Structure 1
């Protein structure tokens, strides 16, 4: 499964649990007028973020079975950890649900 496929299965699993979840699109795109459009999110921002049934925020970095976080993702992870915010790396819907339900901080990093 690709990371994109895993993201979609996680989003479906979250939806079934009535979690509000957003997919993050990051990067730069060259527009027709020759200017670059940047999404504006910080480097390393996780792939998914949202709120559980209790409106508690969470951030999920999605990786394949062999995927590893990059240096920008590790810096973002440290910032979330320092603030005690629920986040982690998920390689499956089951891991993503465990992160949110368990209020885990830094799972999989």
Structure 2
């Protein structure tokens, strides 16, 4: 029986490629499923043999700890250099998206709170 090692939902392409390379380097057979057309499934990396599960999970855990450390260091350096993206920059880059989110949140709050506000 196959085992899902990594769900590819919100996984950057470079990370997925590094995981594939890690599995190939350690000769762990795997296959990959593609995301569905309708966005129900986001694809994944599956182990072909259940016997490899523990070894692959240990490798993946070490890899993710190292990647997490590297990403934190990159972000800290970007903040020191002043090149890290701020919320204000993102709002300026995508004003329509920000306005849409603000409208959606306001609408949800109104739908949620109006029944309670009109009770008394």
Both proteins in one fold, TM over 0.5: no
More helix by share: 2
Compare CA radii of gyration and give the structure with the larger one: 2
More strand by share: 1
TM-score (norm 1): 0.32
TM-score (norm 2): 0.30
